[in-house]
Structure 1
Amino acid sequence: MTKTAGIVGGIAPESTVEYYRLLIASYRKQTNDGNYPPIIINSINLKKMLDLILANRLALVTDYLVDAVEKLARAGADFGAFASNTPHIVFDEIRGRSSLPLISIVEATCDAASRMGLQRVGLFGTRFTMQGQFYPAVFSKAGIELVAPDETEQDYIHTRYMSELVNGVFLPATREKLLGIVDRLKEREGIDGLILGGTELPLILRTAEHNDLPLLDTTRIHVERIVVELTS
């Protein structure tokens, strides 16, 4: 029996579109039988989620996201995933209350980094992701050290992420400045890889590596893991 994937999307819309496109393409490439995957997307209110996170009302963030997952369950999904990194700030709490099995983008990315033999990786994303503990908590168990940009660099990344990337604005000047931060992080911290820990980041940094440094596209990594579940 074919499984149905449930995706909590809209956080942000640009990357949800990319998830849908990649899920279709990856599934069809893997199955090669002409079929398309059953997918249910619940597009939620990004502003509401971010406002709750900014107010540090994480219990309400959890309630909001659990409700989003349960809507997918009632619609017929067999498992769920968040098309975003930031909601994983409360992923363990959501998983504990969800009636659906959930696929973590953080766990999938950690598995990918381990397979690549990475030991010290940089982390880009929203401020919530770069300063949160949900990435280090998972990666430390695999013996992988995470390094965040400095405070000024984090401010730049977060500001451009929220003012440009989530709105579908991808400027060459922003791309060059982001790559400059990558170079400085590599020189300063000796990282051997960089996690694009925001699902809009691969839309502006579209190469698999930069100056011999692998860039881990969390969207593609997550999609590949979802397709494995769809076809299992």
Structure 2
Amino acid sequence: MKTVGVIGGIGPESTIEYYRHLIAVYRALKPDGSYPPIIINSINLKAVVDLLEANDLVKVAELFVAEIQKLAVAGTEVGLLAANTPHIVFDEIRRRSPIPLVSIVEATCEAAKVLGLKRPGLLGTRFTMQGDFYPRVFATAGISLVVPQPDEQTYIHDKYMGELVKGIILPETRQRLLAIIDRLKEREGIDGVILGGTELPLILGDVTDRGIPFLDTTQIHMQAIAARAWS
């Protein structure tokens, strides 16, 4: 059994979900009353966002490498970034990391392949929707990603940072997000939705009535780390 290291705090609400559901995944794998070793390093979300806003990706990578090194010193053997957006520099972070890391993007791509998706929609922060780190990985599997219109991206990002990261879940925000997804389905012919922000499942994780699968990247990521560390 390996000790899992989690870079959390990005944001806090989803970090809580990571811990809760990692325990649940472990219990399902090992129903013997034992519990897994997990170490969480909860970092300052504002520091990360400020660097992203400044497009200083070199310092973003340096920040995460330094925080992962703390996890390594604490005894972790495999790690993850409990958010989608930091994967904008995942290749560089993984190259410099002292421990193996499990990518949320790669794990989600594998899940999309299993479902046979060819044209899913991608929701997340604007850094995620406008970045190339999701399309680049999915292109290797022959999957094209579709993002919302610019004004819709602005709405999603603002609600993500202004509400979801703070644990604020409003019915009107949920309805507007679903309307954006409906338009993507009608306008672009998407065959699935990637909830490419770990706070998005908090507001959309229970949706089952849109006729297309919703990929909960948080759950997918946890299954991947469990397979790597505890199988």
Q: Secondary structure at 2:215's aligned position in 1?
A: strand
- In 2, the alpha carbon distance for the partners of 1:30 and 1:184 equals 39
CA deviations 1:135-173 (Å, max 9, x no partner) are 001000000000000001101100000100000000001
- In 1, the alpha carbon distance for the partners of 2:70 and 2:198 equals 23
Residue in structure 2 matched with residue 38 of structure 1 by the alignment? 37
The answer to whether 1:29 aligns with 2:35 is no
Q: Secondary structure at 1:144's aligned position in 2?
A: coil
Residue in structure 2 matched with residue 127 of structure 1 by the alignment? 126
Aligned-residue Cα RMSD (Å) equals 0.7
Residue in structure 1 matched with residue 77 of structure 2 by the alignment? 78
Cα deviation, residue 207, structure 1: 1.8
TM-score by structure 2 length?
Answer: 0.99
Indicate the larger mover: 222-231 or 17-26. 222-231
Cα deviation, residue 221, structure 1: 0.3
Aligned amino acid, residue 216 of structure 2: D
Q: Secondary structure at 2:36's aligned position in 1?
A: coil
Q: Is the 8 A contact 1:37 1:230 kept in 2?
A: no
| 1:47-196 alignment runs, 5 A limit | 47-196=46-195
Residue in structure 2 matched with residue 16 of structure 1 by the alignment? 15
- In 1, the alpha carbon distance for the partners of 2:79 and 2:57 equals 20
Structure 2 stretches lacking a partner, 5+ long = none
- In 2, the alpha carbon distance for the partners of 1:133 and 1:155 equals 18
- In 1, the alpha carbon distance for the partners of 2:67 and 2:27 equals 27
TM-score by structure 1 length?
Answer: 0.98
- In 2, the alpha carbon distance for the partners of 1:13 and 1:225 equals 21
CA deviations 1:17-76 (Å, max 9, x no partner) are 000000001110111111111000000000000000100111000100000111100000
- More strand by proportion, 1 or 2? 1
Aligned amino acid, residue 202 of structure 2: L
What percentage of residue pairs aligned between the two structures are identical? Answer: 62
Stretches (4+) displaced over 6 A: none
CA deviations 1:100-122 (Å, max 9, x no partner) are 10000000000000000000000
Cα deviation, residue 99, structure 1: 1.0
- In 2, the alpha carbon distance for the partners of 1:142 and 1:210 equals 27
The total of aligned residue pairs comes to: 231
Cα deviation, residue 230, structure 1: 2.0
CA deviations 1:178-205 (Å, max 9, x no partner) are 0000000000000000000000000001
Residue in structure 2 matched with residue 217 of structure 1 by the alignment? 216
- In 2, the alpha carbon distance for the partners of 1:194 and 1:79 equals 28
